[in-house]
């Protein structure tokens, strides 16, 4: 169990593993092991009391990370801490640091803690565009991109196979402008040159990923890939992907005849790397909690997001008003 404890300035509390422990010197989210007979909430409350001397109010689950180490396997169940009483102190001799969220990535952490940082900092939805039909107007396709962004999508993959080159360039240029206006990550599928021309990130299909020898874009350019097995996940980590998509978790219409991995297999693959991993395949936003419970950063989808209705305008609510 681990807790995400934030102060009034939004900084996150990290503690440092002491000498004599596994992974000594690395920073982690505070918590500890669940003992027989304890609920998860009881275990976390006890550990934070023993380690830091605080009484906590445990909030919502953030993510559960299955992770394999050379000598053990674990599941790190991470909860938000809604409040606490007392002044946190390192009662076991451990160092502590209150870290601004935009600096969390600078701290060296155990593999199981790295996806927790991503869950706090990176988008939980990754939308993939369908390719426009032969009779679909560019304006209609771009309206779909605008709808995704209006619905809160902040990570978007432009996947445009089998369309004419000049049209693809026009659509990428226009979609990149739309994404930039709302500070969304926009990635181009499979075409590093086109991505660079329009200031976009790059997303590689599995075949191109396996041919990579090094990260093909600068460190500050978003870089993702599609994976279907452990070898591809390890290759993605080796070449420095920022995140990956893994699936299909369930059978999909876009890949007829391809059986889904299922959540147990997804979690087993998740154990092998510390990358943020989006689950894809037959999923939509309502599957986010289930995905996070199996170690996913979030959900990636094509139809599940593209077909979503526009979000209501600010200040307006659907359904009947509640009158006091």
What's the domain range around 214?
Answer: 125-306
Within this chain, do residues 170 and 86 fall inside the same structural domain, yes or no? no
Residue 120 resides in a domain: no
The reply to whether 134 sits in an annotated binding site is no
- Provide the pLDDT confidence category of residue 318 given band limits of 50, 70 and 90: very low
Within this chain, do residues 184 and 289 fall inside the same structural domain, yes or no? yes
- Provide the pLDDT confidence category of residue 307 given band limits of 50, 70 and 90: confident
Within this chain, do residues 165 and 224 fall inside the same structural domain, yes or no? yes
The reply to whether 31 sits in an annotated binding site is yes
Q: How many domains does the chain have?
A: 2
Domain boundary among 88, 111, 134: 111
The label of the residue with tokens 């801490």 reads 81
CA distance linking residue 108 with residue 99, whole number of Å: 13
Tell me how far CA of residue 145 lies from CA of 61, 156, 226, 275, in angstroms. Answer: 31, 9, 21, 27
Within this chain, do residues 164 and 31 fall inside the same structural domain, yes or no? no
For residue 265, the domain's CATH number is 3.20.20.70
Residue 117 resides in a domain: no
Task: Please say whether the beta carbons of 171 and 142 come within 8 A.
Answer: yes
Q: pLDDT for 197-216, tens place per residue? A: 999 999 999 999 999 999 99
- Provide the pLDDT confidence category of residue 317 given band limits of 50, 70 and 90: very low
The reply to whether 17 sits in an annotated binding site is yes
The reply to whether 305 sits in an annotated binding site is no
The reply to whether 272 sits in an annotated binding site is no
| pTM for the structure as a whole | 0.92
Residue 227 resides in a domain: yes
The reply to whether 276 sits in an annotated binding site is no
CA distance linking residue 34 with residue 32, whole number of Å: 7
């Amino acid at each position: 169990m681990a807790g995400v404890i934030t102060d009034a300035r939004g900084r996150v509390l990290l503690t440092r593993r002491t000498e004599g422990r596994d992974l000594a010197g690395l920073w982690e989210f505070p918590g500890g092991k669940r003992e027989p007979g304890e609920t998860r909430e009881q275990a976390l409350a006890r550990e934070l009391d023993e380690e830091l001397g605080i009484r906590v109010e445990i909030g919502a689950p953030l993510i559960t990370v299955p992770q394999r180490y050379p000598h053990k396997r674990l599941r790190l169940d991470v909860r938000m801490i809604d409040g606490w009483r007392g002044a946190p102190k390192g009662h076991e001799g451990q160092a502590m640091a209150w870290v601004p969220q935009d600096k969390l990535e600078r701290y060296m952490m155990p593999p199981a803690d790295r996806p927790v940082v991503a869950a706090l900092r990176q988008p939980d939805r990754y939308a993939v565009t369908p390719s426009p039909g032969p009779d679909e107007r560019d304006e209609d396709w771009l309206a779909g991109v605008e709808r995704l962004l209006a619905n809160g999508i902040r990570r978007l993959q432009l996947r445009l196979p089998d369309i004419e080159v000049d049209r693809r360039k026009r659509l990428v240029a226009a979609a990149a402008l739309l994404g930039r206006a709302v500070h969304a990550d926009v990635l181009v599928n499979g075409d590093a040159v086109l991505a660079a021309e329009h200031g976009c990130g790059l997303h590689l299909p599995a075949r191109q990923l396996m041919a990579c020898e090094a990260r093909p874009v600068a460190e500050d350019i978003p870089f993702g890939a599609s994976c279907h097995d452990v070898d591809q996940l390890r290759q993605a980590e080796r070449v420095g992907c920022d995140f990956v998509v893994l699936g299909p978790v369930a059978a999909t219409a876009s890949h007829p005849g391809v059986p889904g991995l299922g959540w147990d297999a997804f979690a087993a693959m998740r154990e092998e790397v510390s990358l943020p991993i989006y689950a894809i395949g037959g999923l939509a936003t309502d599957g986010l909690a289930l995905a996070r419970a199996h170690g996913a950063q979030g959900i990636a989808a094509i139809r599940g997001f593209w077909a979503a209705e526009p979000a209501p305008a600010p200040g307006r609510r659907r359904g009947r008003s509640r009158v006091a």
